[in-house]
């Protein structure tokens, strides 16, 4: 069982805490608003009413031992910056912080956030791309350089094996898994002899520029 803390229980923080808890993790949920804490209480191991900018109170929670801490404190930029700084000074190894804009994200990174969350931007990109390219079923930006996509196979891939396609050499991308829809099956790290069908969904990872080349085929 992994252990996480969620600081800030607005819409994003509430659902993050709930999802982590329902996935079998131990969750500590923190907010200054008593009503928000009461709302999340059934979906957390511990729900605490507390001002997380109080360094000593934050330190007393033992968050250093957590597998990750999510900071989602709404529109008060200074609050999230202070909390990330304190968590970093305490030695928390994984700090995921929600940013309001790019400048906020830069500051959060400088004070110790290890990963920046842009929920509205990322969802907007995913929805827009699903409209622009309906065969691309999902899109997840992993970093500034790499993407993970789920995509229906281009016509040129049908009836060919992964060995024949040789996507690593031709496009510098990797098919890490395939969802077979007929019959339903999930193939993790498919073998070179796997033959692509029109009912398959390809899960591909690679650099953004190389993924774009695959998208152009769809």
- Can you tell me the distance from the alpha carbon of 29 to that of 10, in angstroms, rounded to the nearest whole number? 11
Average pLDDT, the chain: 88
In the block, residue with structure tokens 């390219």: 133
Q: Tell me: the pLDDT tens digits for 117-147?
A: 887 777 676 666 566 555 554 555 556 677 8
Percent over 70 (pLDDT), the chain: 90
Mean pLDDT to the nearest integer, 108-113: 95
| pLDDT band for position 195 (cuts 50, 70, 90) | very high
Please name each of the domains of the chain with its CATH number.
3-117 (3.40.50.720), 125-217 (3.30.70.1450)
pTM of the predicted protein model: 0.65
């Amino acid at each position: 069982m992994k252990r996480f803390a969620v600081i800030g229980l607005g819409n994003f923080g509430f659902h993050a805490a709930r999802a982590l808890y329902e996935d079998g993790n131990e969750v500590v949920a923190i907010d200054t608003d008593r009503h928000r804490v009461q709302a999340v209480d059934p979906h957390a191991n511990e729900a605490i009413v507390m001002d997380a900018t109080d360094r000593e109170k934050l330190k007393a929670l033992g968050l250093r031992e957590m597998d990750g801490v999510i900071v989602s404190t709404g529109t008060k930029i200074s609050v999230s910056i202070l909390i990330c700084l304190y968590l970093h000074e305490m030695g928390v190894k994984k700090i995921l912080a929600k940013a309001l804009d790019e400048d906020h994200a830069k500051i959060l990174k400088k004070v110790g956030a290890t990963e920046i969350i842009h929920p509205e931007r990322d969802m907007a990109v995913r929805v827009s791309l699903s409209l622009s390219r309906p065969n691309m079923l999902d899109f997840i930006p992993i970093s500034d350089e790499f993407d993970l996509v789920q995509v229906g196979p281009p016509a040129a891939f049908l009836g060919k094996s992964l060995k024949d396609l040789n996507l690593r050499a031709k496009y510098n991308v990797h098919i890490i898994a395939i969802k077979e829809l007929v019959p339903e099956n999930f193939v993790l790290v498919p073998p070179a002899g796997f033959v692509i069908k029109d009912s398959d969904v390809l899960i591909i990872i690679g650099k953004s520029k190389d993924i774009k080349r695959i998208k152009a085929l769809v």
